[in-house]
Amino acid sequence: MPYINVGEENSGSIDLYYEDLGTGNPVVLIHGWPLSGASWEKQVTVLLAAGYRVITYDRRGFGQSAKPVTGYDYDTFSMDLYKLIAKLDLRNVALVGFSMGGGEVARYLGRYGSERVSKAVFISSVPPFLLKTADNPEGVDSSVFEGIKKALAADRPAFLSAFLADFYNVDLLGGKLISNQVVQYNWNVGVAASAKATFDCVSQWGTDFSKDLSRIDVPTLVIHGNADRILPVAATGIRTHKAVRGSRLVIVEGGPHGLTWTHAEKVNHELVEFLGLASAEACRNSQGRETCFAGHSVSGEIL
């Protein structure tokens, strides 16, 4: 299995697990909390069929990557991403971040620029600034983050179970767009993550990405569900769209936070269309015309 070394802790290496598949222009998929690169299952197949080289990786502390006790901040996360891109010598790369992964996209472009990056995609993402402050009254009160950390410390497996129910809006979509087995699989991945990483990452959700977003100078797509209970679209996706000059906003009607699974056809269509190098014929051959072209929209239109 491929790993990249991004540091050392005591006598051990901090190695990140990644998968590098296919040929063509590269697309790096950055997962959300508390999952792993495997959460991109429904996107990888379509992107490969459309002619892309697809790279997924597990953030430090999660999935099959090393689980150190330090480095759970966005400067470190973006440095890890930088090292991965440099190791693989990726150029003309599209960065796609889901949820917490959108923070890596923003901070990477804010710190390292777009020399190697061609496009950016934010899906159900945490930017621009989730923490409520005097200058950011639309944010979430810090007590919410403290409550989450308290619940994690008390009973992490139980908290993750409740979190995933809201992640996928199981009460509404269960048995229709999401199965119990998928939710259970996600719980298995999440509970196997480092407890320290899972806890520490919560504080990072309040990171201010405003300056990072203002520096983005590549074509940008923002996809968000209007039924997202984890990161409501008004506080995140719409504001990110406004903060990134010339960005395209797609709001998915009824989409929960985890719409990369529940509304994969619509998300995949928007991704393939935005990335621009997809072959419509390859997409039809792999998924069927209905899958490839479901949910077509124009900028800002609700699917």
Is 224 labeled as catalytic in the residue annotation? no
Which residue type occupies 154? Answer: A
Q: Is the Cβ–Cβ distance between 225 and 252 less than 8 Å? A: yes
Q: Considering 31, 224, 241, 257, which one is annotated as catalytic?
A: 257
202: left (phi over 0), alpha (psi -120 to 50) or beta: alpha
Is 31 labeled as catalytic in the residue annotation? no
- The Cα-based distances of 191 to 195, 264, 273 in angstroms read 8, 24, 35
Closest CA to 256 of 29, 28, 27, 32: 32
Counting every residue, how long is the chain?
A: 303
Q: Considering 39, 194, 228, 241, which one is annotated as catalytic?
A: 228
Q: What is the DSSP string of the chain?
A: --EEEEEEETTEEEEEEEEEE-SSSEEEEE--TT--GGGGHHHHHHHHHTT-EEEEEPPTTSTTS---SS--SHHHHHHHHHHHHHHTT--SEEEEEETTHHHHHHHHHHHH-SSSEEEEEEES---SB-B-BTTBTTSB-HHHHHHHHHHHHHHHHHHHHHHHHHHTTHHHHBTTTB-HHHHHHHHHHHHTS-HHHHHHHHHHTT-B-HHHHHT--S-EEEEEETT-SSS-TTTTHHHHHHHSTT-EEEEETT--TTHHHHTHHHHHHHHHHHH----HHHHHHHH-HHHHHTT---TT-B-
Is 212 labeled as catalytic in the residue annotation? no
Residues with a catalytic annotation lie at 99, 228, 257
